[in-house]
Amino acid sequence: MTEQIELLARLIVRSQTIIVFTGAGVSTESGIPDFRSPGGIWSKYDPEDFTIQRFVSSTEARRSFWKMSAESTLLAGAEPNPAHYAIAELHGLGKLDCVITQNIDDLHQKSGVPDNMVLELHGNMRRVVCLDCRNRFPLPDMLSEVSEETRVPDCPGCRGILKPDAVLFGEQLPIVTLREATRRAQQCDLFIVIGSTLMVYPAAYMPTYAASAGARLAIVNLTDTPLDHEAEVVIRGRAGEIMPGVMNCVRRLRSSGPD
């Protein structure tokens, strides 16, 4: 693995417009479960309850969502882990073009990546939106309304249905963000995937857009992904350990001058 860490560090030193693409795996060391690992969210909740159709048509599905949100208040209390800070250090070096994330946990922003450099393809759980009057409210404010038997809060303004400002299955991704992420992916020189199964589209097209436009591809993930065969570097392991190791190596290479 040391060899692969050194190789990724060399690619980082040689690159200027790096995109880091993250999935839930970058946040598991912050205490937020991912979706498809054993014990992940889809082993406890039915993804069918998180389709927009079901969410709008069934109070039960909305109860399930609020129960999950109330339980995963980890989300609210979660702090960035060393992987997030390593990514933020790329920004500090002036090498990060942007982070394209599938995550809705706000941890890239909390670790110091400016909000306008975090392209959130699946929205953000910081807030909920009313499907009727389109007003937005901070999620924690609404969670305080969720009582033990998981009452389903509705819009304080018009009593309409409140939905997380995260993209549910079957829902259109934020089109402006999706277009910008696609454009950026095709212009970067290094595309680093961290903590994703790369199974959910259209987000999972991003690494392919980048590689097809000539970018080098690196993947840091605990388990195999369908794009491993296309990557120049594949590092199997925990992002919270690997990424600080990569940045230590970047610092060493930069201080020892051009190779």
Is 122 assigned a catalytic role? yes
Q: Which stretch binds ligand APR (CB under 6 A): 30-38, 92-100, 146-154, 226-234?
A: 30-38
Closest CA to 254 of 113, 97, 92: 92
Residue 95 buriedness (CB in 10 A; 0-12 / 13-18 / 19+): middle
Task: Find the shortest distance in angstroms from Cβ 166 to Zn ion.
Answer: 18
What's the rounded Cα separation, in Å, for the pair 220 and 239?
7
**Span interacting with ligand APR, options 32-40, 72-80, 110-118, 151-159, rule CB under 6 A:** 32-40
**Interaction of residue 30 with ligand APR, rule CB under 6 A:** no
- Out of ligand APR, Zn ion, none, what residue 155 binds, judged by CB under 5 to 8 A for its kind, is Zn ion
Q: Which partner, ligand APR, Zn ion, none, binds residue 188 by CB below 5 to 8 Å per kind?
A: none
Torsion sign, CA atoms 119, 123, 124, 129? positive
Interface mask toward ligand APR for 185-204; x: CB under 6 A: ----------xxx-xx----
Name the β-bridge partners of 218.
Answer: 192, 233
| Closest CB to Zn ion among residues 44, 159 | 159
To Zn ion, the closest distance from the beta carbon of 163 in angstroms equals: 11
**Of the candidates 239, 246, 247, 249, which one interacts with ligand APR according to CB under 6 A?**
239
For ligand APR, give the closer residue by CB, 155 or 243. 243
Q: What 3 state SS string does 59-108 have?
A: HHHHHHHHHHHHHCCHHHHCCCCHHHHHHHHHHHCCCEEEEEECCCCCHH
**Residue closest to ligand APR (Cβ):** 25
3-state secondary structure (DSSP) of residue 18: strand
Stretch 112-131 residues interacting with ligand APR (CB under 6 A)? 122
Tell me how far CA of residue 109 lies from CA of 119, 157, 170, 175, 224, in angstroms: 11, 29, 27, 21, 28
CB of 115 to Zn ion, least distance (A): 25
Alpha carbons 155 and 136: distance in angstroms, whole number: 9
Q: Which of 102, 109, 111, 124 binds ligand APR (CB under 6 A)?
A: 102
> What does the block give as tokens for 60?
């039960």
Q: Please report whether residue 227 would count as binding ligand APR according to CB under 6 A.
A: no
Cα dihedral 242, 243, 247, 250 in deg (nearest 10) = 70
**Catalytic site residues?**
122
Interaction site with ligand APR (CB under 6 A):
23-25, 28-29, 34-37, 40, 102, 122, 195-197, 199-200, 221-223, 238-240
